[in-house]
Amino acid sequence: MSTPKVRFKGFTDDWEQRKLGDVIDDLKSGLSRELQLDDIGIPVVRANNVDDNKLDMKSEVKYWYKDDPQGANTSNYLIHKDDILINFINSEAKMGTAAIVEDEPLRDTIYTTNILRLRTNEELHPYFFLMETNLAEYKSFIKAITKPAVNQASFTTVDYKKYDIKIPNYKEQARIGGFFKKLENLITSYQRKCDELQKVKKYMLQKIFPKKGEKVPEIRFAGFTGDWEPRKLFDCLDSIIDFRGRTPKKLGMEWSEDGYLALSALNVKDGFIDFAQDVHYGNQDLYDKWMTGKELHKGQVLFTTEAPMGNVAQVPDERKYILSQRTIAFEVKDDIITENFLAVILRSPNVVDDLNALASGGTAKGVSQKSLEKVSFFMPSNIEEQTKIADTFSNLDNLIALHQRKHDTLKEIKKYMLQNMFPKK
């Protein structure tokens, strides 16, 4: 196919197949040196700075001398706006991944030896080519030219230039590149909002619960005074629903195509249920035999005991669920603690530290009911104060989830458009 399924209005010509080497001006590897953590001259782009089409020079940056002690001319390795940086000596998973220099660097910046700097000519739009590096055909080509090695795989510039690229006229390339650039900026914007809200949440968790050895928090809602009281976790609970080790096979049954969804440790995330992970269903017979009348209810606190340990979420709705692998549910004494507050305090810094200290095991840490007996914390006895604290974090979680959904939706749109705005080879 020489034209894509989805196209901007006004463009009808067939796309032309070219060799990559014919539509670029420069393809050059970087400078090989023992880089330094201290800022001794100029920043150096490394493989870890190139990720998901973005160039990140805000973290894990290393440096080299502007006047190279070994006599190399570092100006030959400077990066500029619209340069595309490509991993070509790395792990096989990173091979061919690329990022673009979106703006002229504020200070001279060079790149290291395991990265290629590609500069397009007047026939190839830089951002159009960046999007090409996301296509399945490009990734298959990279896999075909990559030479595996014990430490790091690699490919040659000679082979890379042989890539067959289909391109429309430059004006259409610019429209496509501009569309994806705006889409990428939106995706980044929503991810940034999520990250910022996660930082706010972390800060609030540190400030709205007392530090170790203290009885009152640094931040408190108006109208509430007095010390918080010490409580053991088990003093706040009527019971724990724990079906660890239970499987359909042990019950003489099997999972079904539909029915009641099973919630395992893989579904319980930090504050929400991920319905896309580890999806299993049980029919009515399995549900009855498994749950033995101990039905979960909306708002009930779920806790993962291992792999991963310590994730906390609440049953999200009125539907019936099967409480599955490595997850337990708490029945609270509602005259002492609300379910919403318990879900928050279990994620507070002191409790998280205690859980990690009590956990056993190697790679997959776990915590037993016996260990949970030792968990304690300071909490307000006033249910109204508990409610205000829980509502604060519920609002934060809802905002984070909203931005995350928008981010994920835009990622899906990008995936669809990449599949349909470029012709199949």
pLDDT digits (tens, 9 = 90+) for 69-102: 999 999 999 999 999 999 999 999 999 999 999 9
What separation, in Å, do the N-terminal and C-terminal C-alpha atoms of the chain show?
7
* Domains, the chain, with CATH or none: 16-167 (3.90.220.20), 169-211+381-424 (1.10.287.1120), 229-379 (3.90.220.20)
Cα(289)–Cα(209) distance, integer angstroms:
41
Cα(70)–Cα(133) distance, integer angstroms:
34
Top pLDDT among 52 and 167 is at 167
Contact 395, 338 (CB under 8 A): no
What single-letter DSSP state applies at residue 238?
A: E
Cα(52)–Cα(368) distance, integer angstroms:
39
Cα(291)–Cα(238) distance, integer angstroms:
18
pLDDT number for residue 1:
57
Cα–chain-centroid distance for residue 99? Answer: 18
Give me the percent of the chain exceeding a pLDDT of 70. 100
Name the phi and psi angles at 184, rounded to 5: -60, -40
Cα(323)–Cα(290) distance, integer angstroms:
8
Contact 172, 31 (CB under 8 A): no
* Location of structure tokens 């340990």: 309
pLDDT digits (tens, 9 = 90+) for 173-205: 999 999 999 999 999 999 999 999 999 999 999
Contact 253, 260 (CB under 8 A): no
Q: What is the pTM of this model?
A: 0.84
Contact 231, 379 (CB under 8 A): yes
Work out the pLDDT band at 2, boundaries 50, 70, 90: confident
Cα(386)–Cα(335) distance, integer angstroms:
12
pLDDT digits (tens, 9 = 90+) for 114-162: 999 999 999 999 999 999 999 999 999 999 999 998 889 999 999 999 9
